[in-house]
Structure 1
Amino acid sequence: MKYFRLLIICILLLNSCKKKSEEQKQAAEEIEIINYESFGKEIIADDAVAAKSMAQHYKSMPVGDSINSKMIAKVTDVCQAKGCWMTLDLEDGSEVMVKFKDYGFFVPKDIKGQDVIINGKAFVSEISVDEQQHYAKDAGKSEAEIALIKEPKKTFSFEADGVLVVQ
């Protein structure tokens, strides 16, 4: 009789595990699968810091300091000459200027408004007037807008070695 009870308990336990496994499979199927287009070094999407959180890191960093990071943010602008830089919204009114490591890859010029995940080095720098004017020209700004740039500015920067663009 003891063995019969033990057998019944084992069967019930195995059956309950099977039901749980089926429920987990159904839940996994319901999760939306996000496809990414990859540029540069192959990276994975997990562990990316939200843009708003990254803004707090930037605000506490002095000029010249850097940290390795992975973040997800929305593209606000892209180089229209060849996709050699982009700016991302940090969701607090500021932006981060992203360049690509060793000028080794570019992103599509039509990704403005899309979410991206970038991996690399975040740092705070100061951009000269000439460089700001160059970026404004690449972004298609008017001559009048470019002429208004007269002072160097402290900027949040990122050197990306890999980018994932959400499709």
Structure 2
Amino acid sequence: MKRLIFVVFVFCGINCFAQKHTPLPHGMVFGNKPNDIAPVPATKIEALMGKKIRQSTAVVGKIITVTKEQGGWFEIDAGNGKMIAAHFKNYNIKLPEAIEGRTVIVEGVAQRILTADDLQHFAGDTVTGTKQHHEKVNPKARLTFEVWGLVVDK
């Protein structure tokens, strides 16, 4: 009887230890390995882009949350309460939730989100008053990032 209890205890203990997540090692790559482009801090990417709509670049930043594991949807801290919504170009990438809070180097295309109120006078929308288009834009989410490759830095 003592042996049976001991065996059950050992198997339960092994099962409990097997469910812990292993930490992601430094240098782990998801997607393509980023090239030797000098990465820009995520806090300075908007200043680097200037008035450009799209910019191919590498960014260093801290992952705030993984919103969807399949397809690698996540958010990067861009400083001052802002964030960059990012996702992998290749949908087959599965990004683990254990990467939250880690500093990563991401290579891809940064893109500004265009709102309906931007440059509407060029499209002939010159209506004023109650018919004027009012778009409520989240000022904290102004950039998106299509990721080609990601490497865990810290």
Rounded to whole Å, the distance in 2 between the matches of 1:111 and 1:83 is: 14
Name the SS for the 1:102 alignment partner. coil
Asked whether the equivalents of residues 26 and 153 of structure 2 are also in contact (C-alpha less than 8 Å), the reply is yes
Task: Identify the residue that residue 39 of structure 1 maps to in structure 2.
Answer: 30
Cα deviations by residue, 1:16-59 (Å, 9 ceiling, x for unpaired): xxxxxxxxxxxxxxxxxx9311010122466111122214235x
Query: Among residues 135, 144, 153, which one is paired with 1:157 in the alignment?
Result: 144
Task: Identify the residue that residue 124 of structure 2 maps to in structure 1.
Answer: none
TM-score with structure 1 length normalisation? 0.55
TM-score with structure 2 length normalisation? 0.59
Task: Identify the residue that residue 75 of structure 1 maps to in structure 2.
Answer: 63
Letter in structure 2 aligned against 1:50:
P
Asked whether the equivalents of residues 71 and 90 of structure 2 are also in contact (C-alpha less than 8 Å), the reply is no
Q: Which has the higher helix share?
A: 1
Rounded to whole Å, the distance in 2 between the matches of 1:163 and 1:90 is: 17
Moved more, 112-121 or 154-163: 154-163
1:121 partnered with 2:130: no
Asked whether the equivalents of residues 85 and 106 of structure 1 are also in contact (C-alpha less than 8 Å), the reply is no
Rounded to whole Å, the distance in 2 between the matches of 1:159 and 1:124 is: 11
Residues 61, 40 of structure 1: alpha-carbon distance in 2 compared, 3 angstrom cutoff: same
Structure 1 runs, 4 residues or longer, greater than 6 Å off: none
Rounded to whole Å, the distance in 2 between the matches of 1:100 and 1:155 is: 18
**Aligned length, in residue pairs:** 110
Task: Identify the residue that residue 52 of structure 1 maps to in structure 2.
Answer: 43
Q: Which runs of 5+ in 1 are unaligned?
A: 1-33, 128-149
Cα deviations by residue, 1:80-123 (Å, 9 ceiling, x for unpaired): 55462000001232110001013241321121111011001000
Give the drift of 1:151.
Answer: 5.0
Among all aligned residue pairs of Structure 1 and Structure 2, give the percentage whose two residues are the same amino acid.
22
Asked whether the equivalents of residues 31 and 90 of structure 2 are also in contact (C-alpha less than 8 Å), the reply is no
* Within-5 A mapping of 1:100-115: 100-115=88-103
Rounded to whole Å, the distance in 1 between the matches of 2:85 and 2:32 is: 19
Task: Identify the residue that residue 25 of structure 1 maps to in structure 2.
Answer: none
Name the SS for the 1:103 alignment partner. coil
Residues 85, 126 of structure 1: alpha-carbon distance in 2 compared, 3 angstrom cutoff: farther
Letter in structure 2 aligned against 1:96:
I
Letter in structure 2 aligned against 1:111:
I
RMSD: 2.8
